[in-house]
Amino acid sequence: MMGFALISIQIASAVENVRTLAKTERAKEVAERDLDIGRQIQSGFLPNMLPSPSGWEIVSHFKAARQVAGDFYDFFKLGNRECIGIVIADVCDKGVGAALFMALIRSLIRAFAMQNFGPRHNFRETSPNRSAAPLLDTIKQTNNYIAETHSESGMFATLFFGILDPESGVLNYINCGHEPPIAIGQGKIKEMLKPTGPAVGLMPNPEYKVQEVSLHPGDILFAFTDGVTDAQNEAGEFFTKARLLAILASHFDSAEALMDRIKIDLYDHISAAGQFDDVTMIAMRRKNGY
């Protein structure tokens, strides 16, 4: 009888183990399905085509991590000229929630920018900071909508939003706590576009400031998310901003050449370690003679 009881216990234990394993497998399937949904949402909101204004070269690179982290970038035309809105952002969360939050922010910025700049907005007015007011309004409205409507989610995003006038090379921008984009020219770092306000969604009505930078013929503006500098190799060593800056300080005849060099160095560094954060980069070069 004791032998029978022991066998019964072993059978019950085995059955329970099978049930637990089945639950675990189902949980894995659900998690993987959620990741797939998040990736689809994320990729669906990235630009299908990049703008190609006369005298400019624009390239981008995006590679999603296994765990969707909510990076995104965007380009869109504004006003009555070929002026371009430029966005690069990094949502604080991961998974489907981050992807949905990313989609919300992208939609808000586009909608408010189209409303504030309008089809008749003239970027060539004599005002030295002609895009400041509508640019500021767009970020404030986006921030306040999220902070007031979705505060319970606890989500926020670092974000860079710029308005480029391709004819003059003037870029007006607000940096909402994001990694500073870097202006380079003649083989050196010219300027780092540091934060001019907090991340989007942290609090209602924070102070944001509009800044301006001029990109001259041959200059490149490079923007990225922290998935670049925080990328680790198998030894746990970071790629680092210092290494990125060393690359940027070299001379490049095209934005594509710069992007290719960074990608080679970055993915050689990561190697077999695996990518745990989204990698997003954009580069814009004003061609010589324009």
Specify the CATH number for the domain of residue 235. Answer: 3.60.40.10
157 Cβ neighbours under 8 A, 6+ residues apart: 70, 89, 90, 91, 92, 101, 102, 105, 176, 199, 200, 201
**Would 24 be classed as within a structural domain?**
no
- pLDDT value for 182: 98
Residue 155 belongs to domain spanning: 45-286
**Would 20 be classed as within a structural domain?**
no
**Would 185 be classed as within a structural domain?**
yes
Distance CA 242, CA 248 (A): 10
**Would 158 be classed as within a structural domain?**
yes
The token duo for 66 is: 């296994």
**Would 14 be classed as within a structural domain?**
no
**Would 154 be classed as within a structural domain?**
yes
**Would 269 be classed as within a structural domain?**
yes
96 Cβ neighbours under 8 A, 6+ residues apart: 34, 35, 37, 38, 41, 68
**Would 16 be classed as within a structural domain?**
no
List pLDDT tens digits, range 118-142.
Answer: 765 555 554 546 678 999 999 999 9
Chunked into runs of 10 residues, the chain (290 residues) has average pLDDT values of 50 54 65 69 81 95 80 89 90 81 93 86 55 93 95 91 95 98 94 98 96 97 97 95 96 96 97 87 94
Q: How many domains does the chain have?
A: 1
